[in-house]
Every structure is written in C-alpha cells, then in structure tokens.
Amino acid sequence: MYPWLDPSGRFSFFKLIVFVALLVPGIVLLWPVIAQGGATIPVKEAILESGEWTIRILLITLLVTPLRRITRFSKLVQVRRQIGVAAFCYVMIHFGLYAISQNLDVVRIASEIVLRIYLTIGFVAVVGLAVLTATSTKSAMRRLGAKWVRLHKLVYPIAVLGVVHFFLQSKIDVSEATLMAGMFVGLMLYRFAHWRGWSLRSSTTLLSIAVLAGLATAGIEYAWYALATGIPADRVVAANLEWMWPLRPAWNVLLAGLMIGVIAQFGRDKPVRSLIARVVGGQKMAAGASSR
C-alpha cells in the first residue's frame, strides 16, 4: 500500500504530510554525501545525523500511542507503522554509511562490531529493528497471533540499546543522548500511568510525568558524568538547576511534558478533531442558512 493511502485505500492528506516529514531529514543529510561524491567529512557527519534521526523517529513511534490516548485523535494509529518503518530506513542509512566509511570491508566491519562494545550494542539494535519491520505487516500479525504483541514489545529494549549506543558514541558531549534518554523515560511513564489506570487527560498525572521525567533526565546526566568521565558531576547538577541557553536536556524534557499537558487541556471535554469538525459543521450550517 502506498504511504499516502489510508487502510481503505483512499488518499489521506494526513498520511502524506507524515510521509514527507519523515523523508525530508534523510534528503538533507544525504545530499552533501551525494553532492561531494562520498567525501570523508560529509559521510562522517551523515553517520552521526542518521543515527540521531533513527532514535528520534523511534521515540516518535513510541509517542503515537500515549498521544492518541491524550488527544483521542484515532488517525494517529494509521501512521505508527509508517513511522516505525522510517526508523528502520534511517538505521539502515546509518549502518550503510558506516560500511562505506570502512570501504565496504566486510571482515573489518565484522571485527569492529565484535571488538567495540558500542558497535555491538548498535548492531543488536539494527537486527532488532529489522525483525520488527519484517513482522509489521498484517499477514505477519495474523500468522503470529498473540505472539506478535510480545515480539513487538522488543521495541522498548531496542530503544534502550539505541540510547546506550548514542551515549557510548558521544563520549564527552552527551547532551543529545541525555535528551533522548529523558524523552524515553517520559514515554515509559505515560505507559506506566495508563497501566495503573490513571487518566492521561488528567492535569495532575501529566504534570507529575513532566516533572518526574525532567528529574530523571537530570539524574541520568549526573550519573553519566559521575561514572563515565572525569568531569565533576556537581558542576553538571549546578548547570541543570540553571535556566540558560541552550537549555539543558532536563529542562527540554520538562517543557516537552508540559506541552503535552497543554495539548491535553485543549481536548479535555471533546477531542480536538471533533471540536474542529463541530466548528466546520457550524460554518456549513450558517452558510446554508444564509443562502436560504
């Protein structure tokens, strides 16, 4: 099925927008590589950027379900597989560019994966995403039955592996990796709240998740610098408590959680989509009345 068609086979402007949005980062990061004929510096930059986009898109995949529960915008489900497949495409770009940087030497690539722990972790995540993508079709769902749900819960450990790979690869400047880790914690808190039966449209629940996710992000950054580097961790704590630009990962995670809370407020009584439909319907009725 084409990515711009809905399950019934009709054209979906919403799915088309999502498809284009997923395509743009890939074009932007690959263009310098193509334009400069695979020069070393553009390839190295594209390796990093494609890896970052893999994790971002994977987290967006995990955002679909809680966001649907919060906004009650049911069409979000239609793009979940599309976003998940995009994450796999970006990780294949990431791996493919790495292979190019190693002159496509299969023996060297294999030995690097075995000997370097961050590459081992990343490769396991690649294999996991490949399995999930291969079994994301409707026929696979029918064939696997109840096992399909259990299999696709592997997306959570795969996301963890991706974040750990990001941290180990980043070494000193782990701001982006910390941000991704904090976002993942927030997404897991939304799932925990739903599992506990707490309303994801409750201001108290959403505010609590935002604050806890922000604090967890600060804790993750502190732990990394305390355990993996020689940088004084107390300086990291002090930086996280300051409001400065650019914002620390903990503040960004907190603001993202608060933004989700604002979105929930707009759809508290009725879903946002239904509200828009009512407004449009009212305009049509008014237009009909005026024409009469």
Structural domain containing residue 272? 171-287
Q: What is the pLDDT of residue 137?
A: 86
Q: What is the pLDDT of residue 274?
A: 54
Q: How far is residue 240's CA from residue 91's CA, in Å, rounded to a whole number?
A: 31
Q: How far is residue 105's CA from residue 113's CA, in Å, rounded to a whole number?
A: 12
Q: How confident is the model at residue 267 (pLDDT cuts 50, 70, 90)?
A: low
Q: What is the pLDDT of residue 1?
A: 64
Return the percentage of the chain with pLDDT > 70, whole number: 90
- 226 is a domain residue: yes
Instruction: Examine the pLDDT at 289 and tell me if it is beyond 60.
Output: no
Tokens representing 66 are 């809680």
Count helices and strands (H / E) in the chain.
13, 0
Q: Which of 95-99, 151-155, 240-244 has the lowest mean pLDDT?
A: 240-244
- 33 is a domain residue: no
- Number of domains composing the chain: 1
- 3 is a domain residue: no
Nearest to 86 by CA among 24, 156, 178: 24
Q: What is the pLDDT of residue 190?
A: 96
Quick check: 107 and 114 in contact, CB under 8 A? no
Q: What is the pLDDT of residue 128?
A: 96
More confident residue, 132 or 72: 132
**The residue type at 255:** L
Q: How confident is the model at residue 228 (pLDDT cuts 50, 70, 90)?
A: confident
The alpha carbon of residue 56 and the mean position of all alpha carbons in its chain are separated, in whole angstroms, by 4
Residues 6+ away with beta carbon under 8 Å from 183: 59, 213, 253, 256
Residues 6+ away with beta carbon under 8 Å from 146: none
Q: How confident is the model at residue 268 (pLDDT cuts 50, 70, 90)?
A: low
- 225 is a domain residue: yes
- 12 is a domain residue: no
Average the pLDDT over 125-143 and give the result.
92
Tokens representing 265 are 């407020």
Q: How far is residue 183's CA from residue 208's CA, in Å, rounded to a whole number?
A: 14
- 223 is a domain residue: yes
DSSP 248: P
Q: How far is residue 59's CA from residue 56's CA, in Å, rounded to a whole number?
A: 5
Quick check: 93 and 47 in contact, CB under 8 A? no
Q: How far is residue 108's CA from residue 114's CA, in Å, rounded to a whole number?
A: 10
Tokens representing 254 are 């907190």
Omega within 30 of 0 (cis) for the link into 157: no
Tokens representing 255 are 């603001």
More confident residue, 277 or 109: 109
Nearest to 197 by CA among 63, 72, 69, 71: 69
- 243 is a domain residue: yes
Instruction: Examine the pLDDT at 189 and tell me if it is beyond 80.
Output: yes
Which residues, listed in sequence order, are joined to residue 11 by a DSSP beta bridge?
5
- Determine which helix (DSSP H) or strand (DSSP E) holds 171, and give its type and residue range: none
Q: What is the pLDDT of residue 235?
A: 76
For the CA atoms of the chain, what is the radius of gyration?
Answer: 22
The answer to pTM > 0.75 is yes
Average the pLDDT over 148-155 and give the result.
92
Residues 6+ away with beta carbon under 8 Å from 78: 6, 7, 12, 14, 15
- 132 is a domain residue: no
Q: What is the pLDDT of residue 286?
A: 45
Q: How confident is the model at residue 229 (pLDDT cuts 50, 70, 90)?
A: confident
Residue count of the chain: 292
Q: pLDDT tens digits, residue range 45-75?
A: 999 999 999 999 999 999 999 999 888 888 8
Nearest to 113 by CA among 45, 38, 105: 105
Q: How confident is the model at residue 129 (pLDDT cuts 50, 70, 90)?
A: very high
Quick check: 230 and 196 in contact, CB under 8 A? no
Residues 6+ away with beta carbon under 8 Å from 208: none
Q: pLDDT tens digits, residue range 82-112?
A: 999 999 999 999 999 999 999 999 999 999 9
Q: How far is residue 292's CA from residue 288's CA, in Å, rounded to a whole number?
A: 6
More confident residue, 86 or 40: 86
Q: How confident is the model at residue 113 (pLDDT cuts 50, 70, 90)?
A: very high
